[in-house]
C-alpha cells in the first residue's frame, strides 16, 4: 500500500459528495472511501477524472432477476446477465425479489435465491421478500425471522390471481412486518377492475398488445393506493408504493404524507420516457413495451416529474423485468396471443442511469444533486443500506465516473439477456465510463472487469424508514379501544 495509505486516488474530478458538489480527489483504502480533498497524496493507482463527474454508484431498488413470473414464465436474466448490465450502466447495488409462490416455504425461497445470486451477481445485492403464500407458517414464523435476519423489505401484490393477497392477508403482512422491523412494498392496483376490464376487452375482440393499457384503468391504481394508505394508517406500518404511474396517485400520496402517514413511493424509467401512445404500433411489437401498471398520458409524466421535484416520490427505479421477444418469453402462448397472454415487463437496469442523467443533468431537469438523490442516496437510505448511495469517508467505494459530454445512441440490445432494448435509438448525453465496486475497478473505460459472484449479499439493520410513526389509530390505541392490545 502507498505510504499515504491509499490504494486508489481518483484525481481531479467534480465530486457529488454528501457535503455538496466540488472539484476534489478521492482517496480509497481497501473497500472504503478514506478521504476527500484537494491535493491528496498519491495512491498505488491513480485514476484521472479531470473533466468528469464522480458520482455514487446507482442503487436500483426494484429489479426482477432470475424470477419465475406469476404466469409461470422464467424471466430472461440470470443474476450474472442482469447485474452485468446494471454495473455497465453505473448501478453498483441492486435489490431484487426472493419470490414466493403458492405452496412454497419462504425460508427455502430465500435460500435458493441467495445461492443463485452468490454464484452470479456482479453487484452488491439485497432481496425483497415476496409473499404470495401468506399461510400461518409464513406470517407467524418465517416472515418475522427472515426480516430480523436482515431482509428488511417485503413485497405483496394487491392483484393477479396467482400472487394476490386479500385485504385480510395484507393486514396480516403489515402487522407481522411491523413487529419485526421492516418496510412493506406494494403493487397497488384494484384486482376486480383489472380482471373485469381484461375479460370485457377480449370478449369483444380487442386482443392486440395495446389494449393491455386499456385493461389497467387509472382508477385501479388510484383506488388501490387509497385503500393501501388506509391500511397503513390503521396499523401504523410504513409502506412503499411501487411504480406510481398516475397524476392522481401522486396527489394522493402527497396528501397522505402531508397528513403524517409514513408512505414512500417510487416511479420508474418507462413512465417518464414512454406514454400510452408508444403502444399504438402494428402487429405484436408493442408486446416489448407491456408493463404493469401501463404507461399513461403526457400529463401524467409531468405530474411524476413534479412529484420527484417535490419529494412526493422518493425513488426512481427500473422495475427491470426482462422477457425475450420469442417463445420463451413474450410469445410463450404462441404467435397470436391476446394481450392477457403476454408476459409483462421491460428490461431497464442498464438504461436507467443514462436516461435519467441525460434528462436531469444534461438537459437540466431537476439537476445533478437530485439525480444522485433519487437514483442512489434515497434508495440506500430508505432500504437500509447505510454504506451505499453516497460519497463520504467511511462509506463503500462504490463510484461511477461519468463523462458528461459523451453522446451515445442507445443500441438495439444491452448487456442483459432480453435481446432487445425498449429505448433503442434514443441519444443520451452523459455516460458512466469507469465504475468501482467496494474499491475494485468493475468497469474500466466501458470494459467489464468484474467477475461473476464478486457481488455481496447485503443484510440490513432496521432503519428509519421501517419505524412506525407512533401515531396510533383509535382502534389500535388502548386508551381509546377499551384497553385492547391488538399488536
Residue ranges in the chain whose pLDDT is less than 50: 1-3
How many CB atoms within 10 Å of residue 204?
Answer: 9
For domain 8-56+388-448, which architecture applies? Answer: Roll (2.30)
**Nearest Cα to 170, choosing from 186, 152, 183?**
186
Name the residue with cell 443500441: 411
Indicate whether this model's pTM tops 0.85. yes
| Cα–Cα separations (whole angstroms), residue 379 to 60, 216, 317 | 7, 27, 9
pLDDT for the residue 4: 56
Given a contact cutoff of 8 angstroms between Cβ atoms, the answer to whether 32 and 395 are in contact is yes
Q: Which fold has domain 58-370?
A: TIM Barrel (3.20.20)
pLDDT for the residue 78: 98
pLDDT for the residue 5: 85
Angstrom distance (rounded) from CA 320 to CA 333: 22
Q: Domain segments of the chain: what residues?
A: 8-56+388-448, 58-370
| Cα–Cα separations (whole angstroms), residue 463 to 19, 123, 181, 328, 467 | 21, 22, 8, 40, 7
Given a contact cutoff of 8 angstroms between Cβ atoms, the answer to whether 362 and 430 are in contact is yes
Given a contact cutoff of 8 angstroms between Cβ atoms, the answer to whether 267 and 378 are in contact is no
CA 71 to chain centre: 21
Question: CA 137, 142, 147, 148 torsion: positive or negative?
Answer: positive
pLDDT digits 0-9 by tens, 145-204? 999 999 999 999 999 999 999 999 999 999 999 999 999 999 999 999 999 999 999 999
Helix H, strand E, coil C: the string for the chain is CCCCCCCEEEEEEEEEECCEEEEEEEEEECCEEEEEECCCCCCCEEEECCCCEEEECEEECCECCCCECCCCCECCCCHHHHHHHHHHCCEEEEEEEEECCCCCCHHHHHHHHHHHHHHHCCCEEEEEEECCCCCHHHHHHHHHHHHHCCCCEEEEECCCCCCECCHHHHHHHHHHHHHHCCEEEEECCCHHHHHHHHHHHHHCCCCCCCHHHHHCCHHHHHHHHHHHHHHHHHHCCCEEECCCCCHHHHHHHHHHHHCCCCEEEEEEHHHHHCCHHHHCCCCCHHHHHCCCCCCCCHHHHHHHHHHHHHCCCCEEECCECCCCCCCCCCCCCCCCCCHHHCCCCECCCCCHHHHHHHHHHHCCCCCHHHHHHHHHHHHHHHCCCCCCCCCCCCCECCEEEEEEEEEEECCCCCCCCCCCCCCCCCEEEEEEEEEEECCEEEEECCEECCCCCCCCECCCCCCHHHCCCCCCCHHHCCCCCCCCCCC
Given a contact cutoff of 8 angstroms between Cβ atoms, the answer to whether 136 and 106 are in contact is no
Residue 160: what are its φ and ψ, rounded to 5°? 80, 120
Amino acid at each position: 500500500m502507498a505510504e499515504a495509505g491509499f490504494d486508489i486516488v481518483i484525481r481531479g474530478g467534480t465530486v457529488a459528495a454528501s457535503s455538496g458538489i466540488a472539484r476534489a480527489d478521492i482517496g480509497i483504502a481497501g473497500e472504503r472511501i478514506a478521504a476527500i480533498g484537494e491535493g491528496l497524496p498519491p495512491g498505488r493507482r491513480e485514476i484521472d477524472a479531470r473533466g468528469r463527474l464522480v458520482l455514487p454508484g446507482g442503487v436500483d431498488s426494484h429489479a426482477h432477476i432470475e424470477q419465475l413470473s406469476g404466469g409461470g414464465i422464467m424471466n430472461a436474466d440470470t443474476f450474472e446477465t442482469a447485474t452485468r448490465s446494471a454495473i455497465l450502466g453505473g448501478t453498483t447495488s441492486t435489490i431484487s425479489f426472493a419470490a414466493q409462490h403458492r405452496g412454497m416455504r419462504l425460508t427455502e425461497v430465500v435460500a435458493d435465491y441467495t445461492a443463485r445470486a452468490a454464484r452470479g451477481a456482479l453487484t452488491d445485492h439485497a432481496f425483497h421478500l415476496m409473499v404470495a403464500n401468506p399461510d400461518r407458517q409464513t406470517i407467524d414464523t418465517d416472515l418475522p425471522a427472515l426480516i430480523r435476519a436482515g431482509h428488511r423489505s417485503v413485497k405483496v401484490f394487491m392483484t393477479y390471481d396467482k400472487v394476490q393477497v386479500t385485504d385480510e392477508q395484507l393486514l396480516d403482512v403489515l402487522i407481522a412486518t411491523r413487529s419485526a422491523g421492516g418496510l412493506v412494498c406494494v403493487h397497488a392496483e384494484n384486482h376486480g377492475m383489472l380482471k373485469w376490464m381484461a375479460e370485457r376487452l377480449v370478449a369483444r375482440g380487442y386482443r392486440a398488445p395495446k389494449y393491455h393499457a386499456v385493461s389497467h384503468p387509472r382508477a385501479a391504481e388510484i383506488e388501490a393506493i387509497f385503500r393501501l394508505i388506509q391500511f397503513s394508517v390503521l396499523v401504523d406500518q410504513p409502506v412503499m408504493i411501487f411504480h406510481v404511474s398516475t397524476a392522481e396517485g401522486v396527489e394522493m400520496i402527497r396528501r397522505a404524507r402531508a397528513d403524517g402517514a409514513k408512505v414512500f413511493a417510487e416511479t420508474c424509467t418507462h413512465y417518464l420516457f414512454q406514454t400510452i401512445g408508444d403502444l399504438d404500433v402494428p402487429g405484436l411489437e408493442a408486446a416489448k413495451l407491456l408493463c404493469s401498471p401501463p404507461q399513461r398520458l403526457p400529463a401524467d409524466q409531468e405530474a411524476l416529474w413534479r412529484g420527484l421535484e417535490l419529494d412526493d416520490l422518493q425513488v426512481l427505479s427500473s422495475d427491470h423485468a426482462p422477457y425475450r421477444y420469442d417463445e420463451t418469453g413474450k410469445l410463450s402462448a404462441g404467435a397470436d396471443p391476446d394481450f392477457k397472454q403476454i408476459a409483462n415487463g421491460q428490461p431497464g437496469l442498464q438504461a436507467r442511469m443514462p436516461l435519467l442523467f441525460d434528462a436531469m443533468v444534461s438537459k437540466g431537469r431537476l439537476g445533478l444533486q437530485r439525480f444522485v438523490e433519487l437514483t442512489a442516496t434515497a434508495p440506500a437510505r430508505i432500504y437500509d443500506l447505510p454504506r451505499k448511495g453516497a460519497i463520504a469517508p467511511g462509506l463503500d467505494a462504490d463510484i461511477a465516473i461519468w463523462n458528461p459530454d459523451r453522446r451515445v445512441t442507445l443500441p438495439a440490445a444491452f448487456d442483459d439477456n432480453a435481446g432487445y432494448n425498449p429505448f433503442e435509438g434514443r441519444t443520451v448525453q452523459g455516460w458512466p465510463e469507469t465504475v468501482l465496486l467496494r474499491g475494485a475497478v468493475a468497469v474500466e473505460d466501458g470494459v467489464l472487469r468484474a467477475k461473476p459472484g464478486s457481488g455481496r449479499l447485503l443484510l440490513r439493520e432496521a432503519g428509519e424508514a421501517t419505524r412506525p410513526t407512533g401515531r396510533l389509530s383509535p382502534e389500535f390505541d388502548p386508551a381509546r379501544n377499551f384497553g385492547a392490545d391488538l399488536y
